[in-house]
Amino acid sequence: MQASNNIIRKAQIGDEFAIYEMICELALFEKALNEVINTPEALKIHLFDDHICDALVVEFENKIIGFALYYTSYSTWRGKCLYLEDFYVKPNFRGSGIGSLLFDEIVLIARTTGVKRMDWQVLDWNEAAIEFYKYKKATLDPEWINGRLYF
């Protein structure tokens, strides 16, 4: 999967460090860096040993500049679904179409794996992301309130 100088590929062992760095960048942007308790070592186990989740990365000049981390979820109404946990492109590379290509690749994975729905969250103040998802013709549902317990 290549577009100009960018390569979108499945994450490989060793990529967990760059992915983790971007997870922290995203958490900082979301004003929640103190909530990140994951580690690159745990991420490696979850991605490559336990297969709890999967990730795609975007490379530019042999550096990872974006990622999408996703996993299979389940809807009692629909069945098998794909949940896009994090989707991130480094700020200097936004607006170049890289994010669109990465998102389209996740949508392709969702379609080819036979899921019935693809879900993700976006913060209500992240106008750039909201506009991006609207451009992609996504349904942004204001009715549901997120529930969460921490352990």
Minimal CA–CA distance to 18: which of 70, 73, 56? 56
At 4, the pLDDT band (50, 70, 90 cuts) reads low
Tokens describing residue 120: 């993700």
C-alpha–C-alpha distance, residues 81 and 143, integer Å: 20
Give me the pLDDT at residue 3, please.
47
User: Which of these is catalytic: 20, 74, 83, 133?
Assistant: 133
Domains of the chain: 2-135 (3.40.630.30)
CB-based contacts of 18, cutoff 8 Å, min separation 6: 57, 63, 64, 67
Give me the pLDDT at residue 5, please.
72
Tens digit of each residue's pLDDT (9 = 90 or more) over 25-83: 999 999 999 999 999 999 999 999 999 999 999 999 999 999 999 999 999 999 999 99
User: What stretches of 10-126 show up as alpha helix (H) in DSSP?
Assistant: 16-29, 40-44, 98-112
Would you call 133 a catalytic residue per the annotation? yes
Rg (CA), the chain: 15
pTM of the predicted model as reported, rounded to 2 decimal places = 0.93
